[in-house]
Amino acid sequence: MNEITVIGFLGIDPEMKYLPDGTPVTEFSVADNRRRRDPDNEGEYIESVQWFRVHVFGVAAENANRFLEKGRQVAVFGRLEADAYESRDKKSIHPSLDVYAHNVQYLGSGNGDGEGDGKEEQPKQTRRSSRR
């Protein structure tokens, strides 16, 4: 079974598009920040970030587009797929980790600073009705 859970913060505002059949799709990036001790340098910490591109469909896509914004913390549950994309200058290839979400839970409030964002009340979680 290919199932992943990612908890992190949105790196960009969500962008919603529509498939040819009219199904809404919202995409956004989530950063998974890690901090660990450096084994070679006592007391020092190493910080790293892993980015995930999230794809949400249907009603869940509409809710994500409506309630999420850059900096918001989320928990994303879905299927992981590895891919690659070409840079804009067409000189290099970059890896991409894509999550096709079947459940997105909104954590915290506002944009990661603990303050509300003034948006209307949001759902605690959103699910899409069918898997892609």
**pTM for the structure as a whole:** 0.74
- Mean pLDDT (the chain, rounded): 83
| pLDDT at residue number 9 | 95
Q: Taking phi first (over 0 means left), then psi (-120 to 50 degrees means alpha), and beta for anything else, what does residue 118 get?
A: left
Instruction: Give 77-126 pLDDT, tens digit per residue.
Output: 999 999 888 888 888 888 889 999 999 999 976 554 434 443 444 444 45
| Domains of the chain in sequence order | 4-127 (2.40.50.140)
What's the Cα-to-Cα distance from 90 to each of 51, 70, 83, 87, rounded to whole Å? 21, 27, 16, 5
Tell me how far apart the 2 most distant CA atoms of the chain are, in Å: 56
Length of the chain: 132
Spatial CA neighbour of 48 closest among 59, 38, 39: 38
Categorize the per-residue pLDDT at 8 as very low, low, confident or very high, splitting at 50, 70 and 90.
very high
